[in-house]
Amino acid sequence: MRYTQLGRTGLKVSRLVLGTMNFGEFTDEADSHAIMDAALEKGVNFFDTANVYGGPETKGRTEEIIGSWFAKGGGRRDKVVLATKVYANIAADGRPWPNFDLLSAVNIRRAVDASLKRLGTDYIDLYQFHHVDRHTPWEEIWQAIDVLVTQGKILYAGSSNFAGWHIAGANEAAARRSSLGLVSEQCLYNLAERRAEMEVIPAAEGYGLGVIPWSPLHGGLLGGAIRKEREGGGGRTANALSNSALREQVQAYEDLLDKNGLAPGEVALAWLLTRPGVTGPIVGPRVREQLDSALRAVELELGEDVLKALDEIFPGPGRSPEAFAW
């Protein structure tokens, strides 16, 4: 397994991130434990979760499954760089009770203690803001985070689904407090969705954040969707493939990889690992075989001819605005 540094921190993390969003909702506890054991055995040490994962009626269940896995011992907790998130109301009935969601100081305090209890640990390596809170000032958010760092409950803070200017605003506010600020951004980024290249990734690079792409297979479209459709599968990707322009791109993508003897899902992950600023893509295996495929992608080296052809099939958004400066 290849490793890198998480943004401007001292944390060494694997170049593949184990996403646990399926644990509890689509993958039972025993199989979730087996996947985490296999990942750790193969050197994957960066695990990502969120306090709302686990299903609409059992929010928090995913963190509980990770906690029961830690409880098995064997140094599991010490070997893992653990990331979770805060933002949404996790009440099972979904009631928007005041101060039980978003990023107010009181909810951050309440949410981190609840996550620690479910996870069965006394600290979180990376505590991420799942979305932007447009109502709470950054001064309040960073004050709450600084308290948690002082208490030893978290080590670092990260963002998810932020625009470039959100990253700038957050870190400038942190700098005024002499706080560390954000160290990572978790964003939607893959071959078929490259808008993050315009502002989000340049902002992350400018402020020294690691980039952690989610949905690297674009909801399964980059995992051999047309081939699976012909074989009688397709599942959740069927509606998306009804878009003729996108279908043509995916078909060209699969044809290219068939010609080169490459697996679509593995290429999508390997491509992300060639992108500037990317720490590692998040994979969310439901079964062990999906993890094995992702592990192969980390060792896959794409030739210049393949990379050029991928750019032609899925062209990026073009140069970022800063490229037009005199």
53 is annotated as an active-site residue = yes
User: For residues 264 and 257, is the Cβ–Cβ distance under 8 A?
Assistant: yes
CA angle, 164 then 165 then 170, to 5° = 105
Q: How many other CB atoms are there within 10 angstroms of residue 225's CB atom? A: 29
Query: Distance (Å, rounded) from C-alpha 118 to C-alpha 63?
Result: 6
Give percent helix, percent strand, percent coil of the chain, each to the nearest 5.
45, 15, 40
| Distant-in-sequence, close-in-space partners of 65: CB < 8 Å, separation ≥ 6 | 20, 23, 24, 29, 32, 33, 54
Q: What is 152-203 written as a DSSP string?
A: TSEEEEEEES--HHHHHHHHHHHHHTT---EEEEEEE-BTTB-GGGTTHHHH
d(CA 299, CA 224): 20
DSSP reduced 3-state for 118: helix
Q: What span, in angstroms and rounded, lies between the C-alpha atoms of 218 and 206? A: 26
Question: CB neighbours (10 Å) of residue 142?
Answer: 22
Choose, from 53, 127, 189, 253, the residue flagged as catalytic: 53
Q: Could you say which DSSP state residue 278 is in?
A: B
Among all residues, which ones are annotated catalytic?
53
